[in-house]
Structures are given as structure tokens and as C-alpha cells.
Structure 1
């Protein structure tokens, strides 16, 4: 069985660039205030979600392992 992720968007950081929607349209939407939000905060690990996080210009997308809370993105330094 694959990893499950918890995905969240820091709305105080999000600038509404829509890169997340571009890279993972099945996982993110912009609301009327042009703020991103994940469609399902708990999701199976998926390359498009990671690509969305990696391409967010302000690193507003945070991904952790659902069970342990270990950081997936941004990686812990």
C-alpha cells in the first residue's frame, strides 16, 4: 500500500499564481479570492501534487505523511 499524504495550503502565503491548479488540476482549486485549497486534504501520494508544491513560487503548499506527520515538502533541512 502506498503512502497517504496530508496536503495543506498556507493561505497567508498563497499569492494565487495558480501553478498548483496548472500542475495538479484534480487536486487544487482557487476560490473566489484567488486562494488555493486542496480538494482532498488527505490523499494518496501523487506526483502531480508534489510537482504543484515544488512549483509554487512562494512554497505555500505543505505536504506531510498522513500517519507520521513527517515532512514530504518542503523537506526538512
Structure 2
């Protein structure tokens, strides 16, 4: 499996204000021990909640770090 997945801390692990939706690359092989998000946050798999689509408040740093994002403008010119 490849692509991008939304990942955030599961309910009860952290306060609600810290449960923003981060983005991470889906590993090619097996389930990871932790999810390394595009913004650099590492979320342990046992404390993660995954979503195939957007869920919750997005992490702006993750959104701006999406590789080859069609959402971001190209270089000027």
C-alpha cells in the first residue's frame, strides 16, 4: 500500500487540542511501529487513529510539506 494517510492521536491519549490530523506516508510493507508525519512528529502506532481521508483539524505544517502537492503553487514565473 502506498500514498498518504491522515493520522492523529487516539482519543484519551492526549488532550483534544493536540488531536489535530497529521499526514504520513503509508509504508510499502507492514504496519509501522510508529507513524512519522510530514511535519516530523512521531506517533506510536498503538496510540494512533488512522483515517483514509481528512478528519479533524489539519496540521498546517504537514499540509505544506506534502511531497509534490497539487495544492501548493509552483515556482513563480
Could you say which TM-score interval applies, normalised by the shorter chain?
under 0.3
Which one has a bigger Cα radius of gyration? 2
TM-score, normalised relative to structure 2? 0.26
